[in-house]
Amino acid sequence: MNVQRPTVVRALLVLLCLPTLAFADAKDKDKDKDKDKDKVAAKSGGKRAIQDRVVAIINDAIVLRTELEARMMPVIGEAMQITDETERNRRIAKLRSQVLDEMINEELIVQAADAAKVEVEASEVQAALDEIKQQNNLDEAGLTAALAAQGFTIAGYKHDLRRQLLRLRAVNQLVAPKVTVTEEDTKARYDQLQRRSEGVKAVKLSHILIKVPEHPTEQQLAEAKEKAAKAITRVKGGEDFVKVAADVSEDDGTKNTGGELGWFERGSINPDWASTVFSMDKGDVRGPLTGPQGLHVLSVTEIKRPEMKPFPEMKEQLQRELRRREMDKQTQVWLDELRKKAYIDIKLQ
């Protein structure tokens, strides 16, 4: 089965992380609360809810508190470690709202799939279940036991799995036709990456250090700048940087090796220097730049640039990337439209 998998639809086939997504019917929203309670007592995702309440209504479906809390389980751990009670409760409340919003989106997709008569065969659900067992090295009995340990049944698990497959198929059938990636789009993306790759990845630097005291006087600073300027003039006048460094530099550790400092990648150099250094070409000399010990005259002796494969070799990869991005964008647009048309009543407290 070849289906698109946009960001808004979470990964499907992860054992025991599969969220419980079954919603009980809520055909008569305005009935008295006792009838809602009867629905709340129905099975959800293979797990029986004894006492529960509705936290959201989406058209003719409801989300139960137990379903929401089951979805919270894999993501709540970090928030529970927060020691400050107020902040912990705030973070959990925000997380609960986000998870419920995601569950509402999922239900809307299922409803859209039903309206469009999108189908998932029982054989496809079984094939997905077999894949899960294979990936996790489990037989039927092992999967049944693992699910039972969390209070779920195979039947409920299959129900949830079918809904997830249904959502993916709905996105594939109802959204994918709206996605178009042209040859021009792909070439434009390649050209964009190529322009970035033409930027400097790493530089090999040499320097001349003119030392200044920690708190120099104006005269000391002026003398140091003049000395640095003369060194730059000598190099630009044709003298070898190595010779000038040996004559002028006050860095005893590098002056006898031409002031060589070695290779520097982006992010590994003083941020105050980075814009200057990574705009230099091979052989350029710039300065003076201020450092902890004084003033530095810099020379770039070698440059590394990122390598890019030719367009024909990257075309297919770039098309997949662009299609995935556009699928995510169009899926979100579609979801926004579904939400605008839907009756949604959130009852979180």
Q: Please check whether residue 14 lies inside any domain of the structure.
A: no
Confidence (pLDDT) at 9 = 29
> What is the C-alpha separation between 187 and 211, in angstroms, rounded?
51
Q: What is the CATH number of the domain that holds 272?
A: 3.10.50.40
The pair of structure tokens assigned to 101 is 């919003």
SS3 sequence of 59-80: CCEEEEHHHHHHHHCCCCHHHH
pLDDT-derived band at 22 (thresholds 50, 70, 90) equals very low
Q: Is the pLDDT of residue 10 over 70?
A: no
Q: Is the pLDDT of residue 54 over 70?
A: yes
Same domain, 123 and 71: yes
Q: What percent of the chain has pLDDT over 90?
A: 51
Same domain, 130 and 266: no
Confidence (pLDDT) at 306 = 74
Write out pLDDT tens, residues 288-329.
888 888 899 999 988 887 777 889 999 999 999 999 999 999
Out of 48-52, 57-61, 69-73, 103-107, which region has the weakest mean confidence (pLDDT)? 48-52
What's the Cα-to-Cα distance from 18 to each of 12, 48, 149, 162, rounded to whole Å?
7, 17, 14, 11
Q: What is the CATH number of the domain that holds 93?
A: 1.10.4030.10
With CA atoms as reference, report the closest residue to 324 among 33, 40, 5, 2: 5
Kindly give, in sequence order, each residue whose CB lies less than 8 Å from that of residue 258, ignoring residues fewer than 6 positions away: 206, 241, 242, 245, 246
Q: Please check whether residue 13 lies inside any domain of the structure.
A: no
Same domain, 292 and 341: no
Same domain, 44 and 162: yes
Same domain, 130 and 237: no
Confidence (pLDDT) at 202 = 87
Average pLDDT over residues 76-81: 90
Confidence (pLDDT) at 59 = 96
Q: Please check whether residue 297 lies inside any domain of the structure.
A: yes
> What is the C-alpha separation between 207 and 190, in angstroms, rounded?
36
Same domain, 68 and 165: yes
Same domain, 137 and 248: no
Backbone region of residue 258 per phi and psi (left: phi > 0; alpha: psi in -120 to 50; beta: other values): left
Same domain, 149 and 83: yes
Q: Is the pLDDT of residue 165 over 70?
A: yes
Same domain, 207 and 167: no
Q: Please check whether residue 10 lies inside any domain of the structure.
A: no
Domains identified in the chain, total number: 2
Same domain, 126 and 249: no
Same domain, 212 and 333: no
Q: Please check whether residue 5 lies inside any domain of the structure.
A: no
Same domain, 228 and 277: yes
pLDDT-derived band at 56 (thresholds 50, 70, 90) equals very high
pLDDT-derived band at 200 (thresholds 50, 70, 90) equals confident
**What's the pTM value of the predicted model, to 2 decimals?**
0.57
Q: Please check whether residue 46 lies inside any domain of the structure.
A: yes
Average pLDDT over residues 263-286: 84
Write out pLDDT tens, residues 223-240.
999 999 999 999 998 889
**Which residues form the domain of 278?**
200-304
pLDDT-derived band at 52 (thresholds 50, 70, 90) equals confident
Q: Please check whether residue 28 lies inside any domain of the structure.
A: no
